[in-house]
Amino acid sequence: MPKAKLPRKSTNIDMTAMCDVAFLLLTFFMLATKFKPEEPVVVKTPSSISDFPLPDEDILLLTVDSKGRIFFSVDNKVKRKALIENVNSERNLNLTDAEMNNFAIGASLGIQFSQLKSYLNLSADQQAEIGKTASGIPVDSTVLSVNNELAQWVKSARNTNPKLRICIKADGEASYPNIKKIISTLEGWKIFKFNLITNLKAIPAGTAAYEQKNSMAKAE
Q: From the CB of 24, what's the least distance to other proteins, in Å?
A: 9
Given the complex with other proteins, which of 46 and 93 has the nearer CB atom?
46
* Residue 118 burial (C-beta neighbours within 10 Å; 0-12, 13-18, 19+): exposed
Closer residue to other proteins (CB): 93 or 179: 179
Q: How far apart (Å, rounded) are the C-alpha atoms in residues 102 and 81?
A: 9
Please identify, among the stretches 84-92, 106-114, 156-164, 188-196, the one whose residues bind other proteins according to the rule CB under 8 A: 188-196
User: Which is nearer to other proteins, 128 or 183 (by Cβ)?
Assistant: 183
CA atoms within 13 A on the CB side of 106: 31
For residues 3 and 5, give the distance between their C-alpha atoms in angstroms, rounded to a whole number.
6
Q: Which stretch binds other proteins (CB under 8 A): 88-96, 103-111, 150-158, 191-199?
A: 191-199
| C-alpha pair distances (Å), 216 with each of 202, 210, 212, 220 | 16, 10, 6, 7
Question: Rounded CA gap, 143 and 149, in Å?
Answer: 9
> How far is the first Cα of the chain from the last one, in angstroms, to the nearest whole number?
68
- Establish if 113 lies at the interface with other proteins (CB under 8 A): no
Residue type, 156: S
User: For other proteins, which is the closer residue by CB, 31 or 98?
Assistant: 31
d(Cα 180, Cα 95) in Å, to the nearest integer? 32
Contact pattern from residue 24 through residue 63 relative to other proteins, giving x for each residue in contact according to CB under 8 A and a dash for the rest: -xx--xx-xxxxx---------xxxxxxxxx---------
Residues in contact with other proteins, counted by CB under 8 A, come to a total of: 58
Identify which of residues 30 and 217 has a Cβ nearer to other proteins in the complex: 30
Fill in the per-residue mask, 165 to 184: x = in contact with other proteins (CB under 8 A), - = not in contact. --x-xxxxxxxxxxxx--x-
Write down the least CB distance from residue 42 to other proteins, Å: 15
Rounded-to-integer distance, Cα 167 and Cα 176, Å? 17
Give the integer Cα–Cα distance in Å for 117 and 153.
16
**Quick check: 23 binds other proteins (CB under 8 A)?**
yes
**Interacting residue ranges for other proteins, rule: CB under 8 A:** 14-16, 18-19, 22-23, 25-26, 29-30, 32-36, 46-54, 64, 167, 169-180, 183, 186-187, 192-200, 203-204, 207-210, 212
